């Protein structure tokens, strides 16, 4: 024993001051010298409670087993603070002897002492301590039982779990809930059966706690048998957690449990099981899904079919073909879509059979699937679908034929051009246009029908590219569609021809189109020549300027503007004298865009010439009238010589009208007055109203405009 310890022990034993003894006990505890234990044990019997409490704390810090008997005796001390200090000291010592003295503390009248006893046992954590805690679960005080449950949770050994399972039967619902939560926190999988029973607890909070605990245990468990075991749980969340866990495992071992889950009363859980079986894709899983097609409702069968489609195995294909006879059309339609994904010969046979389905949506899906797969052998069946009573099926058949693109498919598209429905004809036109574009992209030559196409020998035709033949046929059909009774079809055909024929190699064909009897063909040819815009298109455009239709001539003017050469400017100037104002306006605009304001001067000079010609045409037979009374000179008389002045019939002397002298056919009247032919008299000319020289629109406006507000022509100032 050291000198310091001896001095402190001396003070503890002999000092008359309680404060000195308390300080000495505390210092001895800090030093931790086991030689001071006898003196401290003796101090536990001191009359001053503060000294006893300080001695008990010091013994706990030193922690030697020799202090246990003395501390156990202090557990009966009348002061609760001393009992609490003794319990804490026993917990720190932790020997079996120390544990044996703690059970009686559970009967202590002070709850803080009881709680300290539980802490002490938790700190010790030995089998003896666990046994002591399990024994405390039978204590009449709820507080003690709940504290023991918490201590057992923290210990977490199998022995502690056994105690927690025991607490599930506690009469108090809060203790049961504590036990359930504790089992969930430590993921006690061995307690799953008891937790499943707890799902039927009389108290809802306990049921909810049991559900959460099971879900927590299941989420971290990789035991397939355990997961299968909880399928019978009455709680949906528990079953869902089990199925999700099996989905995450995703091994063939989980198949049996998932097949069992197909009978779950909850639709979502059944669907999750089906999806997982489809992903596992083992023979057992596929077989289970195919069998389930016979026992489940429509929505479930549809989900099963989708899972089989994602599998794609031969067994799955047989199940899909079986589903084509399902009484529900949505199931059959889903089966068609899934068969398309597999693409096997067996699947194709099923798709062709589905073309005869009674439901239009199924037939439409089958046609689309065959088109996506590009099945050439299915073309005859797809062509038959063009006569389907549903227009949507007919349109889908057209799209399928376009994707297949064989000669027979093109023939089917030609048939579709005569369809009574406008939308079908438009889709067929678009399909032919796409085929033509594809042909041009593949370099199959000039699209369309060449002038000597009828003279091609059979041998050359036999070696011709099928794409080129199809393209030529498509152009021919597009030209025929310009006569379609429906305006939208004619517009679609026009746009398709413009897109396909607007190449320099198509110029000869386009010039031939200018001789067509149909104005739409001529106009399309002119517009296509304008898109080409090369010098070799000029002869054709000059020819179009003589067309009897003003819109064709106007299109030719627009096309010439794009070329913009000096020869074109001369042609456009001639167009300023066209009989139709629309053509003149378009020519003026074209010249303005090509040469700027110089084009306006040309336009004005031509307009002046036209005005002079019109003035000459105004010369006509005229009956002169008096400047005074307005009376006529009388009936006509053959050619007569007359004086420079003629008296007016009914007028006064000196009121005369100056007439040009000459030999004219005249008009005889009273008093020998004669009327003659002369330039029109402007004596009573109407008030002048300005107008646009291009569009002839009236310009009688509040202000003098710089531009025509109707055609945009800049006016001469």
CA distance 353 to 56: 94
How distant is the alpha carbon of residue 59 from its chain centre?
75
Residue identified by tokens 């190449």 is 503
Q: What percent of the chain has pLDDT over 90?
A: 15
Mean pLDDT of 591-602: 63
Mean pLDDT across the chain: 77
Residue 138 pLDDT exceeds 70: yes
Q: What is the pLDDT of residues 358-382, one digit of tens each?
A: 999 999 999 999 999 998 999 999 9
With contact defined as beta carbons under 8 Å apart, do 573 and 595 qualify?
A: no
Q: Cα–Cα–Cα angle for 312, 314, 318, nearest 5°?
A: 100
Split at pLDDT 50, 70, 90, the class of 491 is low
Mean pLDDT of 316-332: 90
Split at pLDDT 50, 70, 90, the class of 571 is confident
Joined together, the tokens standing for residue 394 give: 């007919």
pLDDT value at residue 439: 63
Q: What is the DSSP string of 659-693?
A: ---S-EEEEE-GGG-EE---SPP-TTPPPP--B-T
Quick one: CA dihedral 55, 107, 96, 116, positive or negative?
Answer: negative
With contact defined as beta carbons under 8 Å apart, do 332 and 351 qualify?
A: no
Residue 396 pLDDT exceeds 90: yes
How distant is the alpha carbon of residue 179 from its chain centre?
49
pLDDT value at residue 593: 79
Joined together, the tokens standing for residue 505 give: 């190699």
Residue identified by tokens 């569009």 is 695
Split at pLDDT 50, 70, 90, the class of 336 is very high
Instruction: Return the higher-pLDDT residue of 460 and 65.
Output: 65
Beta-ladder partners of 645: 658
Start-to-end CA distance of the chain, whole Å, equals 131
List helix spans (H) across 517-565.
Answer: 519-532, 538-544, 550-563
- List, edge to edge, every strand of the sheet that includes 636-640: 636-640, 664-668, 674-675
What does the DSSP 8-state code read for residue 455? G
How distant is the alpha carbon of residue 411 from its chain centre?
36
Q: Which helix (H) or strand (E) holds 657?
A: strand 656-658
Q: Which residues 6+ apart lie within 8 Å of 601 measured at CB? A: none
With contact defined as beta carbons under 8 Å apart, do 565 and 573 qualify?
A: no
Instruction: Return the higher-pLDDT residue of 409 and 665.
Output: 409
Residue 415 pLDDT exceeds 50: yes
Kindly report the backbone phi and psi dihedral angles of residue 346, in degrees, each rounded to the nearest multiple of 5, phi listed first.
Answer: -65, -40
Joined together, the tokens standing for residue 572 give: 């456009």
Q: What is the DSSP string of 216-235?
A: HHHHT---HHHHHHGGG-S-
pLDDT value at residue 676: 34
Residue 351 pLDDT exceeds 70: yes
CA distance 105 to 292: 63
Among the listed residues 238, 197, 201, the one whose alpha carbon sits nearest the alpha carbon of residue 217: 238
With contact defined as beta carbons under 8 Å apart, do 264 and 232 qualify?
A: no
With contact defined as beta carbons under 8 Å apart, do 255 and 277 qualify?
A: yes
Among the listed residues 567, 575, 520, the one whose alpha carbon sits nearest the alpha carbon of residue 528: 520
Kindly report the backbone phi and psi dihedral angles of residue 262, in degrees, each rounded to the nearest multiple of 5, phi listed first.
Answer: -65, -20
What Å distances lie between residue 690 and 294, 460, 597, 708, 711, CA to CA? 89, 68, 22, 11, 15
Residue 89 pLDDT exceeds 60: yes
List helix spans (H) across 576-676.
Answer: 581-595, 598-617
Range scoring the smallest mean pLDDT among 89-103, 198-212, 229-243, 430-444: 430-444
Residue identified by tokens 């063909």 is 521
CA distance 381 to 91: 89
What does the DSSP 8-state code read for residue 648? P
Alpha-carbon dihedral of residues 569, 574, 579, 585, nearest 10 degrees?
Answer: 30
pLDDT value at residue 679: 38
pLDDT value at residue 285: 86
Helices and strands (DSSP H and E) totals, the chain: 38, 5
Kindly report the backbone phi and psi dihedral angles of residue 443, in degrees, each rounded to the nearest multiple of 5, phi listed first.
Answer: 75, 40
Split at pLDDT 50, 70, 90, the class of 631 is very low
Residue 598 pLDDT exceeds 70: no
pLDDT value at residue 502: 60
Residue 458 pLDDT exceeds 80: no
| SS3 state of residue 626 | coil
CA distance 304 to 699: 78
How distant is the alpha carbon of residue 646 from its chain centre?
94
pLDDT value at residue 354: 93
Residue 556 pLDDT exceeds 60: yes
CA distance 165 to 176: 9
Range scoring the smallest mean pLDDT among 306-310, 333-337, 418-422, 657-661: 657-661
Q: What is the pLDDT of residues 196-235, one digit of tens each?
A: 888 888 889 998 898 888 888 888 877 778 887 887 788 8
Q: Which residues 6+ apart lie within 8 Å of 670 measured at CB? A: 634, 649, 650
Q: What is the pLDDT of residues 149-189, one digit of tens each?
A: 999 988 888 889 999 999 999 999 999 999 999 998 988 88
pLDDT value at residue 46: 86
Among the listed residues 372, 263, 311, the one whose alpha carbon sits nearest the alpha carbon of residue 320: 311
């Amino acid at each position: 024993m050291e000198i310091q310890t001896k001095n402190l022990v001396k003070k503890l034993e002999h000092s008359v001051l309680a404060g000195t003894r308390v300080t000495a006990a505390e210092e001895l505890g800090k030093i931790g010298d086991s030689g001071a234990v006898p003196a401290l044990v003796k101090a536990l019997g001191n009359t001053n409670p503060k000294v006893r409490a300080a001695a008990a704390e010091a013994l706990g810090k030193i922690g030697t087993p020799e202090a246990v008997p003395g501390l156990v005796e202090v557990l009966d001390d009348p002061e609760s603070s001393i009992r609490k200090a003794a319990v804490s000291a026993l917990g720190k010592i932790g020997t079996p002897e120390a544990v044996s003295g703690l059970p009686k503390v559970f009967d202590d009248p002070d709850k803080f002492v009881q709680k300290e006893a539980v802490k002490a046992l938790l700190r010790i954590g030995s089998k003896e301590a666990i046994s002591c805690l399990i024994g405390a679960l039978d204590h009449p005080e709820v507080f003690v039982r709940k504290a023991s449950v918490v201590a057992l949770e923290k210990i977490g050994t199998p022995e502690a779990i056994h105690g927690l399972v025991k607490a599930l039967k506690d009469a108090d619902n809060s203790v049961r809930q504590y036990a359930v939560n504790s089992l969930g926190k430590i993921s006690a999988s061995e307690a799953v059966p008891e937790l499943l029973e707890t799902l039927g607890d009389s108290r809802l909070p306990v049921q909810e706690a049991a559900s959460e605990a099971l879900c927590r245990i299941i989420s971290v468990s990789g035991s397939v048998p355990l997961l299968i075991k909880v399928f019978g749980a009455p709680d949906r969340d528990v079953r869902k957690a089990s199925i999700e866990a099996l989905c995450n495992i995703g091994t063939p071992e989980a198949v049996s449990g998932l097949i069992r889950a197909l009978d779950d009363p909850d639709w979502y859980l059944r669907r999750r099981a089906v999806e997982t079986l489809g992903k596992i894709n083992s023979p057992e899983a596929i077989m289970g899904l195919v069998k389930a097609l016979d026992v489940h409702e429509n929505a479930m069968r549809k989900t099963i079919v989708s899972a089989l489609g994602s599998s794609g195995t031969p067994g799955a294909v047989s199940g899909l073909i079986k589903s084509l006879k399902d009484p529900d059309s949505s199931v059959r339609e889903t089966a068609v879509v899934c068969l398309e994904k597999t693409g096997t010969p067996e699947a194709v046979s099923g798709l062709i059979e589905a073309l005869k389905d009674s439901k239009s949506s199924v037939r439409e899906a089958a046609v689309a699937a065959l088109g996506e797969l590009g099945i050439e052998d299915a073309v005859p069946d797809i062509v038959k679908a063009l006569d389907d009573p549903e227009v949507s099926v007919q349109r889908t058949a057209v799209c399928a034929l376009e994707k297949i693109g064989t000669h027979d498919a093109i023939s089917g598209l030609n048939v579709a051009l005569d369809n009574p429905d406008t939308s079908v004809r438009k889709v067929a036109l678009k399909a032919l246009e796409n085929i033509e574009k594809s042909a041009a992209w593949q370099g199959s030559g000039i699209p369309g029908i060449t002038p000597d196409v009828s003279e091609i020998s059979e041998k050359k035709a036999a070696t011709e590219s099928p794409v080129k033949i199809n393209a030529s046929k498509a152009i021919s059909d597009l030209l025929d569609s310009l006569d379609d009774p429906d305006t939208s079809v004619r517009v679609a055909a026009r746009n398709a021809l413009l897109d396909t024929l607007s190449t320099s190699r198509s110029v000869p064909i386009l010039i031939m189109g200018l001789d067509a009897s149909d104005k739409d063909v001529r106009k399309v040819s002119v517009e296509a020549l304008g898109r080409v815009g090369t010098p070799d298109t000029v002869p054709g455009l000059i020819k179009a300027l003589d067309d009897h239709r003003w819109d064709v001539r106007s299109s030719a003017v627009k096309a010439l503007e794009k070329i913009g050469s000096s020869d074109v400017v001369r042609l456009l100037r001639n167009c300023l004298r066209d009989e139709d104002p629309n053509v003149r306006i378009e020519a003026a605009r074209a010249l303005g865009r090509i040469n700027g304001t110089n084009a306006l001067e040309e336009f004005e000079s031509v307009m002046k010439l036209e005005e002079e010609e019109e003035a000459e045409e105004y010369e006509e037979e005229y009956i002169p009238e008096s400047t005074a009374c307005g009376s006529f000179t009388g009936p006509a008389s053959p050619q007569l010589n007359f004086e420079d002045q003629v008296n007016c019939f009914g007028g006064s002397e000196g009121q005369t009208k100056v007439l040009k002298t000459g030999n004219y056919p005249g008009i005889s009247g009273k008093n020998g007055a004669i009327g003659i032919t002369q330039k029109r008299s402007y004596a009573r000319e109407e008030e002048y109203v300005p107008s646009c020289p291009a569009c002839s629109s009236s310009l009688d406006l509040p202000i003098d405009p710089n531009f025509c507000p109707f055609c945009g022509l800049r006016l001469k100032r």
